[in-house]
Chains A and B, each alone.
Chain A
Amino acid sequence: MNKKDITNSLKSVNVLEEKTLNYIDFTKVDSSVPLSFDIVENSFVYLSLRGNCSSDITFNVKENSTLILNILFDTQINSKVKFALDDNATINVSGCDLMSSNRDFHLTCDLNGINSKGEFHLACLSSANDNKVFDVNFNHLNINTVSIMENYGISKDHSSLSFVGNSFIQRGSKKANARQITKIVAFDEGVKVKASPILSIDENDVIASHGASEGQVNQDHIFYLMSRGLSEEEAKKIIILGYLSPIINYFIDDDMKQEISSHLDRGI
């Protein structure tokens, strides 16, 4: 797939090209102004983001269209990202945050259209004195809407990591399906971790589930791996990699995949 850097051609309202890996590197531009992207009807669009970004970003995803969005949190992305989905529209958002820095990221997805679907997958490592907050909201506002949220995090040193997941199902949104999974591993004694899965449901005819766990590395897993000859450090590393590395499968950009893989090998 062709990769197209659209960083320098950004306007306040943008239309993304189909069958192209659209790429924005916010380290190259000042991006404090709000940005908007329109995904036109019946299109299939890829977009990768990275770099410094503190602006609010809005995506309008029209009927029968799909947006695949990859976010590499490699420096300061403290944005409010909003999605509005029409009938049969789909978004699949994946984020990977291995950079040591503070983070305050908010995502809101309004599932306005019938059969609209949103997915959010995140792998996050917080270390040193990082304070990272991810606040993800899916609003089911029509029938047959689907949301899937998967957050995996590791917190090391004296860092803090908080995942807030909020799935709201409005009355009348029959057959809505909302799912949340959040897992955080507290690697060291001095960390603060918090998983807050929230389901707010105002309709009976729905499927909704959430699971959240926060705790230390499972000692039974460590024992199992060590009993096969791995040292404690190796055992912990392989478990942590197992937590974070599946996110690579959601990324489209080969350069980003390679970068995440190298970072995981180097940084854990």
Chain B
Amino acid sequence: MNKLEIINLHVSVEDKEILKGVNLTINQGECLALLGPNGHGKSTLLAAIMGNPHYKVTQGKILLDGEDVLSMSIDERSKKGLFLAMQYPSEIPGVVNQDFLRASMNAHRDTPIKLFEFYRSVESASKKVNLPLDMVNRFLNEGFSGGEKKRNEILQLILLNPSIALLDEIDSGLDVDAINTIASVIDDLHQKGMSFLVVSHYARLYDLIHPTHSAIMINGKIVLEGDKTLIDRVDKEGYEFLKREHGIDIAKEEKKMNTVSLGACAVNQGTK
């Protein structure tokens, strides 16, 4: 049994509250499609579940089979069966993909994986996501195209085989063939019992992975839940019907002015 419960979750980023009391439950084997306009908290929810330190949980609970997820470190959450496929996976120079994959797989095992078994697993997963096997010799996500990064996320999903996968716009930037490829993997894992929380703006992906139910997040709250027909309606009509039929105002996404640097040739004193 793998049940993820999100109860009255409030999350802030830099003192601005993004999630304002989210309630959601995902039972084992379910696939929840999370919809909503840009900037309303979908990615924040996924990042908070995984424990991204940029996102501060100010109130509420996240429970995995009744266990308090919020008290777990990020790696503990992974070992308990949570997996986040990121919208913008980090490029980590110098870290060779196969070293990372092997370390990740070993982190989920009692005994280190044998080299032959590791290569067989990676070879099999690479074929499923249509990535060349020599990709494992490259630095982690560095120089990968947008599509390769997303395929690499799904490759890790296959290798780590979590109980609940959180997919954050896994289809963005992918061509039609690539969407079909990764959707086939997701659907296959779903059939085998893996649970999913999937964020996407496109009905095409949802048509291929067959969500069991859906929810719409507006202004940091779940405002409507339903089945596949809700996804089809949003695809056809957008979110305007929420105001007409449910009286829900949709706050516009704030667009900050870009910071413009007039200087150059300076030493970057940051975190890169």
Chain A residues engaging chain B, CB cutoff 8 angstroms? 183, 195-197, 199, 210-221, 223-232, 234, 238-239, 241-246
Contacts and interface: CB of A to CB of B under 8 A. Distances in A.
B interface SS class: mixed
B73 interface: yes
Interface stretch (B14-22, B90-98, B120-128, B178-186): B90-98
B215 interface: no
Nearest to A220: B90
A108 to B, nearest CB: 22
A230 B73 CA distance: 10
B153 to A, nearest CB: 10
Contacts of A219: 53-54, 271
Q: Give the 7 A-B residue pairs with the shortest CB-CB distance, closest first.
A: A242-B94, A229-B107, A226-B74, A242-B95, A228-B104, A213-B268, A229-B78
Contact of B271 (A217, A242, A243): A217
Interface of B: 50-54, 73-75, 77-79, 83-84, 86, 89-90, 92-96, 99-100, 103-104, 107-108, 139, 156, 160, 265, 267-272
Contacts of A212: 267-268
A242 B95 CA distance: 5
Contacts of B272: 183, 213, 215, 218
B261 to A, nearest CB: 15
A244 B94 CA distance: 8
A228 B104 CA distance: 6
Given A196-B267, A223-B90, A228-B104, 4 more contacts: A213-B272, A214-B268, A232-B75, A246-B94
A253 B269 CA distance: 36
Contacts of A246: 94
8 contacts: A219-B271, A223-B53, A226-B75, A229-B75, A230-B75, A231-B107, A232-B75, A241-B94
Contacts of A245: 94
Contact of A230 (B51, B104, B139, B267): B104
Contact of B99 (A211, A213, A238): A238
Contact of A224 (B54, B73, B83, B92): B92
A224 B90 contact: yes
B103 A227 contact: no
Nearest to B78: A229
A213 B268 CA distance: 4
B100 A213 contact: no
Contacts of B78: 226-229
Interface centre among B89, B95, B265 (most CB of A within 10 A): B95
A232 B53 CA distance: 13
Contact of B267 (A213, A226, A238, A242): A213
Given A210-B265, A223-B53, A226-B74, A234 B94 contact: no
Contacts of A239: 92, 94-95
Nearest to A224: B90
A208 to B, nearest CB: 11
A230 B107 contact: yes
A220 B92 CA distance: 10
A160 B96 CA distance: 28
Contacts of B92: 221, 224-225, 239, 242
